[in-house]
Structure 1
Amino acid sequence: MAADGEETKPTKEPKYSKFTQQELPACKPLLTPKWVIAIFLVVGLVFIPIGAVCLAASVSVIEVSQRYDDVCAQGATSADKEASLMQLAGAGSFCNVTLSVPKQMKAPVFVYYELDNFYQNHRRYVKSRSDQQLRGEEAASSSLKDCEPELYVGGDRDKMINPCGLIAWSYFNDTFALAVTETGSSSVALPVNETGIAWATDISKKFGPYNTSNFNSDPAFRGGGAILGPVQDDEHFIVWMRTAALPNFRKLWGRITQTIPAGSTITVTVNNRYNTYRFDGKKKIVLSTTSWLGGKNTFLGIAYLTVGSVSLAFSVLFFVLQWRHPRKLGDVSYLSWNAKANAAS
């Protein structure tokens, strides 16, 4: 209410439009029993073939793997395991593991190393890097702060670690040499192409052509491997720096560019240097082919088949219910218990 002597200003009405008055045309679909049956039927008929194709593609992938951290440490004590590894300035130990090829593996065959119980997805671990430094730029102090405690050697500010951070410090440093023995033949070396394994955008955009300084140089606290040459040229390091989302993961080591016949035996000579014994981790070597869908993973095919089968089952169920107990659209009286009781009396 306006005070005495004051004029009340007229309220300005908004300009009329169908949008402000909520008069826009709208579609309100009515899900009749026939439409429900049709939708479930279409989903089932579409998803089941897709799932079958995806599952067939996954099954066509040939994969062989072998755990080696236990094989390489047979008979060793806990002290021996730690003392012989590079994380405590050791040179590691060599061992051989064998892989049997049940079916022909057509080229290219991809070589992976697999780590279990290694949490690269830990928030503190993921943050522990400086992207500016990795590109070869002068990093700001705010960028370097995330690298602690792997920023300076022994706390000496004159010895900055480059590249710094826990991800770089824990760089995987086991190495592998492969040989193949075909049926009725002697063993021959199996060359592995270790280039072209990192993302092209990572090489060109995220890592620079500079040499490291003070990187894993303190033998008493060495966390992993050393980078050979410019950072941009070490593709194993670039692959390692792309952190995994799950605690059990595999990373690409290289590609075999020749077909491996069925019945062959692959001998892998491992230089076992990476210390997974401290956190009860496991290490594996994996050889795998690929399909048009990627590596071996049956989840997608099974998911499509499950959803399609359930949808098809629902369509049949609703069809039977509608056929045996039809009702008129809009007639909901039969849903009322009182209406049924009155009709019965």
Structure 2
Amino acid sequence: MPPTDATATTTQLSTMEGPTSEKQLKNRPKASALRQQKLPAWQPILTASTVIPTVIAIGILFLPIGIALFLASDGVTEKKIDYTTCGNPCVLNINLEHDFQGDVFLYYNLDNYYQNHRRYVKSRNDQQYLGDLTNVKDCAPFDYDPATNKPIAPCGAIANSIFNDTFALEYRPDGGFPVQVPVTTEGVIWNVDRDRKFKNPAIPPSGDLCDVFKDTAKPPNWPTEPCRMGGFENVDFIVWMRTAALPYFRKLWRIVNRKQSPQFANGLPKGTYILTVQNNYPVQSFGGKKEFVISTTSWAGGKNSFLGIAYLVVGSLAIVLGVVFIVIHVKYGHSMNDLSNVNGLQQ
């Protein structure tokens, strides 16, 4: 008796599914608890007895941390001098009311300057800063000199806009002779920048750094050839190339050299100082502002009370919320036994 259409179809499907079933068996994951998703699971149950102590504990922990951070920031001595509208050269009298004890750091502040602009941040070539002078990829529009068609070194918008104001600080003691405050670049840049990110090309035995840079062009805004400023290993260049995230930023310029002069062994004494600035960097076109900053540091860094205040606010808020939760729980809350009884009644 010939097979019916249904029998023939079933036979064909069985024949087609045979290899597929075997293939699925071969690819089956191992019968381990991890692969079969049989590991034990735990899910916390948020109850008043667990949430309220946690919130109060966070508040108790954050309050002393905030107090410590705030006191550390408050103990930092700092002096800001705005010289935006000063002439060139700019000579300003500074009066330090207190001694700046310990290491003293000299910064410059820039306001309303957006170093985090996407096109600005991308306009650089890290391979060139390691010694490959002809590599100007991603440096447009400051990649080649339009007059000579030579590659610009250092290339890019960040390098072209380097901050070029210079400062000189002089101490005027009462009844004494003026003394130049000694400064140093040691400790200004990060070790990773100095050792791994910025390297000059190899100098030939019979030449100098300018011989290495002779087939390149300087950035348009640089008044001096890069080879006469130390090339890629120039401290001010390395500091500037670490772009800031906010439009108001501070960059370290120099550190007072306490070892060079016994008069400044303990830092900067209070008194009168003369600040001479070569005011070269233009900021009026974008409404910017420039400041020279003299500051000490603490174990928590420079003078910035935001972090301490943030810890105090969060800690205080956590304690207040913990007390509010306790009141609500005592007045309106139910115990686990009550909840169990309610579930039993519903069943």
TM normalised by structure 2 equals 0.80
Q: Equivalences for 1:115-130 in 2 at 5 Å? A: 115-130=110-125
Structure 2 stretches of 5 or more lacking a match?
1-5, 202-208, 259-263, 343-347
User: Which of 261, 265, 268 does residue 272 from structure 2 map onto?
Assistant: 265
List per-residue Cα deviations over 1:43-70 (Å, max 9, x = no partner): 1111100110011111111110111121
Structure-2 separation of matches of 1:172 and 1:279: 15
Question: CA 1:319 to 1:266, structure 2 compared with 1: closer, same or farther past 3 Å?
Answer: same
What RMSD over aligned residues (CA atoms) do the two structures have, in Å?
Answer: 2.8
Aligned to 2:187: 196
SS state at 2:184 partner: coil
User: Which of 175, 178, 202 does residue 169 from structure 2 map onto?
Assistant: 178
Deviation of 1:185 after TM superposition, in Å, equals 4.3
Aligned to 1:238: 238
Structure-2 separation of matches of 1:273 and 1:192: 21
Question: CA 1:183 to 1:147, structure 2 compared with 1: closer, same or farther past 3 Å?
Answer: same
Question: CA 1:226 to 1:122, structure 2 compared with 1: closer, same or farther past 3 Å?
Answer: farther
User: In the alignment, residue 191 of structure 2 is paired with which amino acid?
Assistant: A
SS state at 1:71 partner: coil
Aligned to 1:254: 254
SS state at 2:107 partner: strand
Structure-2 separation of matches of 1:59 and 1:235: 30
User: In the alignment, residue 281 of structure 2 is paired with which amino acid?
Assistant: Y
SS state at 2:293 partner: strand
Aligned to 2:295: 288
Contact 1:43–1:308 (8 Å) recurs in 2: yes
Q: Equivalences for 1:49-64 in 2 at 5 Å? A: 49-64=64-79
Structure-2 separation of matches of 1:178 and 1:187: 10
User: In the alignment, residue 328 of structure 2 is paired with which amino acid?
Assistant: L
Contact 2:134–2:151 (8 Å) recurs in 1: no
Aligned to 2:140: 148
Contact 2:171–2:272 (8 Å) recurs in 1: yes
Question: CA 1:139 to 1:318, structure 2 compared with 1: closer, same or farther past 3 Å?
Answer: same
Tell me if 1:274 matches 2:273. no
Aligned to 2:152: 161
List per-residue Cα deviations over 1:202-244 (Å, max 9, x = no partner): 1221222244455447xxx535665334324411111111111
SS state at 2:42 partner: coil
Structure-2 separation of matches of 1:178 and 1:33: 61
Aligned to 1:87: none
User: Which of 299, 312, 324 does residue 317 from structure 1 map onto?
Assistant: 324
| Runs of 4+ off more than 6 Å | none
SS state at 2:106 partner: strand
User: In the alignment, residue 208 of structure 1 is paired with which amino acid?
Assistant: K
Deviation of 1:16 after TM superposition, in Å, equals 4.3
SS state at 1:196 partner: coil
User: In the alignment, residue 25 of structure 1 is paired with which amino acid?
Assistant: P
Aligned to 1:304: 311
Structure-2 separation of matches of 1:21 and 1:60: 59
Q: Equivalences for 1:31-70 in 2 at 5 Å? A: 31-70=46-85
Contact 1:173–1:225 (8 Å) recurs in 2: no
Identity value in percent: 42
Aligned to 1:339: none
Contact 1:173–1:224 (8 Å) recurs in 2: no
Question: CA 1:330 to 1:97, structure 2 compared with 1: closer, same or farther past 3 Å?
Answer: farther
Larger radius of gyration: 2
List per-residue Cα deviations over 1:92-119 (Å, max 9, x = no partner): x211123322322113100011111221
Deviation of 1:325 after TM superposition, in Å, equals 3.4
Contact 1:182–1:261 (8 Å) recurs in 2: no
Question: CA 1:168 to 1:224, structure 2 compared with 1: closer, same or farther past 3 Å?
Answer: farther
Tell me if 1:3 matches 2:9. yes
Structure-2 separation of matches of 1:295 and 1:119: 22
Tell me if 1:94 matches 2:93. no
TM normalised by structure 1 equals 0.80
Structure-2 separation of matches of 1:224 and 1:119: 23
